[in-house]
Amino acid sequence: MKPGQNIKDLDFGKYKKNSDFQEKVVKNHYYKYYKDFSVVYDSDGNIIKLKTLSLNAIQHVWLIGIHSLDDVTQRLGNNFVVSKYDKAQRLSSRDYYDNANKLRARFVFPEGDVYTTNNQKISLVWVILEKY
């Protein structure tokens, strides 16, 4: 599954729906939510955005072996842009661009040290792959 791929070519039946989110349509973009990720596609069925919704999705669904920003750097290198993602939530992102394919990989992370209830440091909050 990747941006640019058509949803008609994929089997979404194997993924559990996420009842925490309401599916919606905004400006001819269709938003669907599954347990570990969300998908946005256009009226032709072409995927324009994939977003992880859990650590499981980050580590297992798309990016096997990615657990931290260091892992991202080892895989994709140092050619990235850091930007504020959500100031209110104190989130920044490390953005990698593939201009030839018009793709952006955005790795969203907390500013400062943030820990889970199990006292594990959170280094990635979401991964977003999208067409631009």
The CA distance from 76 to 20, in Å, is 32
Strands (DSSP E) found in 28-116: 29-33, 37-41, 47-52, 81-86, 91-98, 103-110
Q: What is the pLDDT of residues 103-114, one digit of tens each?
A: 999 999 999 887
This prediction has a pTM of 0.87
Residue 86 lies in a domain: yes
- The range of the structural domain enclosing residue 76 comes to 7-131
Burial 12-44 (b: 16+ CB within 10 A, else e): eeebeebeeeeeeeeeeebbbbbebbbbbbbee
Reported confidence tier of residue 121, pLDDT bands at 50, 70, 90: confident
Number of structural domains (the chain) is 1
Q: Is a pLDDT exceeding 70 seen at residue 60?
A: no
Residue 2 lies in a domain: no
Residue 38 lies in a domain: yes
Q: What is the pLDDT of residues 62-71, one digit of tens each?
A: 566 787 888 8
Residue 44 lies in a domain: yes
Residue 1 lies in a domain: no
Q: How is residue 55 annotated by DSSP? A: H
